[in-house]
Amino acid sequence: MVQMAKEKLRYKAAFHPILFELLPEKFTLPQLQSLYEGVFDAEFDKRNFSRKIQSTKLLLKQKDKDKESSKKGAYYYKLDKRRYAAKFHAFLNFIPNPDNLK
């Protein structure tokens, strides 16, 4: 039953921004990556994840930083819901091959 629930969550996360509902309104890329890794039970390379997610242009970079996680701090982002509605398929690039999932 748990495995079936995970599969449904993965499927829905691939086509809808439901994972963003689990994040605060403003979030960092490390928080987003951690969420994706948890849901898809896979590790993503930090630089590649950041590069790919930013290339979608679906996130709005905020001016403030999260200074609690590191000295340098990580910028906060928000999901651009209008752009996401028009280009939701861009997030499909982050979904690992189902055969590689644990």
pLDDT in tens, 11-64: 887 777 678 888 999 999 999 999 989 888 889 999 999 998 888 888 999 999
Give the whole-angstrom CA distance, residue 90 versus residue 102. 24
The CATH number corresponding to 2-94 among 1.10.10.10, 1.10.10.60, 3.90.1150.200, 3.30.530.20 equals 1.10.10.10
The Cα–Cα gap between 9 and 27 comes to 20
Return d(Cα 21, Cα 99) in angstroms, integer.
27
Contact status, residue 37 vs residue 44, Cβ threshold 8 Å? yes
Q: What is the pTM of this model?
A: 0.75
Length of the chain: 102
